[in-house]
Structure 1
Amino acid sequence: MLDACAELVDEVGYEGLTTTLLAERAGVAIGSVYQFFPDKRAIVQALTLRNMEAYLERLASSWADGSSTDWWDGVDAAIDEYIAMHRSVPGFRTLHFGDVVDVHLLDEERDNNAVIAGRVAQVLVEQFGVAETQRLRFALEIAVEAADALIKLAFRRDLDGDDTVLGEAKALIREYLHRHVDA
């Protein structure tokens, strides 16, 4: 059902998504949809959580290969994976990490980008020994917001992502974080 949801979101958008369309695409009875999900928001939330886990798994894999030697390499990989998911994961370009549906889809207390920034901070601390500080968390929240906005712009300008905008986004984030992160 989540795969069908991802396909439909790309085709008709979140507003056009219905549980009836989902049931038809997934080849299940409408009752089966409601057995697992009370409404379309819950379906999209499950898809968003799956995407976030996939994103974090992809990051872990890219960092495990040893090619990331310092914290910036880790941040660079995080941006690259986000771009790659926009290009290759059904539904991701439309939903991102759920902000289209609800900015608190991943966590009732924090907005979606703050959740992502927190997870990236956790990995930078564990993987690269970056000092865990309020300054780090704040800087990553700003960086995630900026990167998210610029990546969305790149994909509005070009369906595959405008490489010039993506390059500028990475340069901007690199410069900002170099000034604000203690490594």
Structure 2
Amino acid sequence: MLDACAELVDEVGYEGLTTTLLAERAGVAIGSVYQFFPDKRAIVQALTLRNLEAYLLRLSDRLTGGDLTDWWDGVDAGIDEYISMHREVPGFRTLHFGDIVDVHLLDEDRDNNGVIAEQLTQVLVDRFGIGDQVRLRFALEIAVEAADALIKMAFRRVPEGDERVLAEAKSLIREYLFAHVDADRPATAKVTQKAGKS
């Protein structure tokens, strides 16, 4: 049913999605839909949570791949996987992480991007040992909001994502995080930043 939901969201949008359409696409009785989900919001919430789990798994695979040398590589991987999911995962470019439905879809006490930033913070701390988690999490909340807006813009302009906009998004996030997480950044990243500016 979640696969059918993802396909329909891409075709008709969240507003056009109905439980009747979902049942027809999934090839099940409408009662079977209601057996698991009380309404379409609950279906989309389940799909969003599945997408979040898939995103974190993809990012974890990248971070344990051995080719990342500092925390910026982890952030870069996070942006790359977010872009890849827009291109590869049905329904993702429409729903993202549920903001089109409810900014508190993932957690009633925090907005969706705040949840993503917290997850990214934990991943980066575990992988790179960054010390100031509170500072990093706040900086990532800002970065996630900015990156999310620019990536959405890129996919509005070009179906596969405007590469110029995506490049600018990475550049903007890189400069912002370098400025705000400098104290926690290892020496290798500082050398990279200076080399990039020369």
Q: Flag the structure with larger Rg.
A: 2
After TM superposition, list the pairs within 5 Å mapping 1:28-177 onto structure 2: 28-177=28-177
Mean alpha-carbon deviation: is it higher for 123-132 or for 161-170? Answer: 123-132
Letter in 2 for 1:9: V
| Residue identity (%) | 79
User: Aligned partners of 1:60, 1:137: CA distance in 2, in Å?
Assistant: 18
Q: CA RMSD in A?
A: 0.6
In 2, Cα distance between the equivalents of 1:23 and 1:57? 29
How many angstroms apart in 2 are the aligned matches of 1:135 and 1:172?
Answer: 18
Q: CA deviation at 1:63?
A: 1.0
Q: Distance in 2 between matches of 1:28 and 1:133?
A: 46
In structure 1, how many angstroms separate the alpha carbons of the residues matched to 2:8 and 2:151?
A: 22
For 1:160, give the aligned amino acid.
E
Aligned partner of 1:133: which letter?
Q
Cα distance in structure 1, aligned partners of 2:136 and 2:25: 43
Give yes or no for contact 2:98–2:105 (8 Å, CA) kept in 1: yes
Q: Distance in 2 between matches of 1:49 and 1:131?
A: 29
**Take 1:31 and 1:172, find their aligned partners in 2: how far apart are those partners?**
48
- Structure 1 runs of 4+ with >2 Å offset: none
Is residue 19 of structure 1 aligned with residue 19 of structure 2? yes
Q: Give the structure-1-normalised TM-score.
A: 0.99
CA contact (8 A) 2:19 2:39 kept: yes
Give, in whole Å, the separation in 1 of the partners of 2:67 and 2:132.
Answer: 23
Structure 1 unaligned spans of 5+: none
**CA distance in 2 between partners of 1:30 and 1:68 (Å):** 47
TM-score normalised over the length of structure 2: 0.91
